[in-house]
Amino acid sequence: MNMASPATAASPTPLVRARDLCVSFATPRATVNAVNGVNLDLAQGESLCILGESGSGKSVTLRALMRLNPPKRTVVTGELNVANQDVMQMTQAQLSQYRGPVVSMIFQEPLSALDPVFTIGHQIAEAIVRHEGISRKAARARALSLLELVQIPSAARRLGAYPHELSGGLRQRAMIAMALSCNPRLLLADEPTTALDATVQIQILLLLRKLQRELGMGVIFVTHDIGVASEVADRVAVMYGGRVVEEAPVEILIRSPRHPYTSGLLGATVHAGTRGTRLTTIPGAPPDLAELPAGCAFAPRCTRAEPGCHKAVPPLLEVTAGHHVRCPVVCPARIQAPINV
Partner 1 sequence: MLEYTLKRIAYTIPIGLAVSLVCFMLVHISPGDPIDSIVPPDTPTEVIEQIRAEYGLDRPLPVQYGLWLSRALQGDFGESISKGRPIGPDLWVATKNSLMLAAFGATLGFVIGCVLGGAAGAFRDSWIDKLCLGIALFGVSVPHYWLGMVLVIIFSVQLNLLPSMGMGPTGPWAWDWDHLRFLVLPAVTLSLIPAGLVTRTVRGLVSDIMGQDYITTLRGKGLRTSGIVLHVIKNAAPTTLAVMGLQLASLLGGSILVEAVFAWPGTGMLLNNAIFQRDLPVLQATTLVLAFFFVFLNLIVDLAQTALDPRMRRT
30 in contact with partner 1 (CB under 8 A): no
162 in contact with partner 1 (CB under 8 A): yes
27 in contact with partner 1 (CB under 8 A): no
- Would you say 68 or 202 has its CB closer to partner 1? 68
Among 11, 22, 81, 109, binds partner 1 (CB under 8 A): 109
- Would you say 117 or 198 has its CB closer to partner 1? 117
Q: Which of these segments, 44-52, 174-182, 224-232, 272-280, binds partner 1 (CB under 8 A)?
A: 174-182
151 in contact with partner 1 (CB under 8 A): no
Q: What is the dihedral of CA 129, 132, 137, 141, to 10 degrees?
A: -110
SS3 string of the chain? CCCCCHHHHHCCCCCEEEEEEEEEEECCCCEEEEEEEEEEEECCCCEEEEECCCCCCHHHHHHHHCCCCCCCCEEEEEEEEECCEEHHHCCHHHHHHHECCCEEEECCCHHHHCCCCCCHHHHHHHHHHHHHCCCHHHHHHHHHHHHHHCCCCCHHHHCCCCHHHCCHHHHHHHHHHHHHCCCCCEEEEECCCCCCCHHHHHHHHHHHHHHHHHHCCEEEEEECCHHHHHHHCCEEEEEECCEEEEEEEHHHHHHCCCCHHHHHHHHCCCCHHHCCCCCCCCCCCCCCCCCCCCCCCCHHHCCCCCHHHHCCCCCCEEEECCEEECCCCCCCCCCCCECCC
CB of 232 to partner 1, least distance (A): 20
Instruction: For residues 323 and 4, give the distance between their C-alpha atoms in angstroms, rounded to a whole number.
Output: 9
Q: Which of these segments, 103-111, 221-229, 278-286, 293-301, binds partner 1 (CB under 8 A)?
A: 103-111
Among 95, 141, 215, 292, binds partner 1 (CB under 8 A): 95
Order of strands across the sheet with 243-249?
A: 103-106, 186-190, 218-223, 47-51, 235-240, 243-249, 323-325, 317-320
174 in contact with partner 1 (CB under 8 A): no
- The 260-289 site mask, x for binding partner 1 (CB under 8 A), equals ------------------------------
Among 79, 86, 115, 148, binds partner 1 (CB under 8 A): 115
CB of 71 to partner 1, least distance (A): 10
Q: Which of these segments, 178-186, 219-227, 283-291, 294-302, binds partner 1 (CB under 8 A)?
A: 178-186
| Contact indicator for 162, 173 with CB cutoff of 8 Å | no
CB of 164 to partner 1, least distance (A): 6
CB of 23 to partner 1, least distance (A): 15
| Contact indicator for 6, 32 with CB cutoff of 8 Å | no
**Residues between 37 and 76 with contacts to partner 1, criterion CB under 8 A:** 66, 68
CB of 74 to partner 1, least distance (A): 13
116 in contact with partner 1 (CB under 8 A): yes
Chain centre to alpha carbon of residue 37: 16
**Residues between 129 and 148 with contacts to partner 1, criterion CB under 8 A:** 130-131
164 in contact with partner 1 (CB under 8 A): yes
How many residues sit close enough to partner 1 to count as binding (CB under 8 A)?
A: 30
Among 42, 49, 76, 105, binds partner 1 (CB under 8 A): 105
113 in contact with partner 1 (CB under 8 A): yes
CB of 266 to partner 1, least distance (A): 31
Binding site for partner 1 (CB under 8 A): 66, 68, 95-101, 104-105, 107, 109, 112-118, 126-127, 130-131, 162, 164-165, 178, 181-182
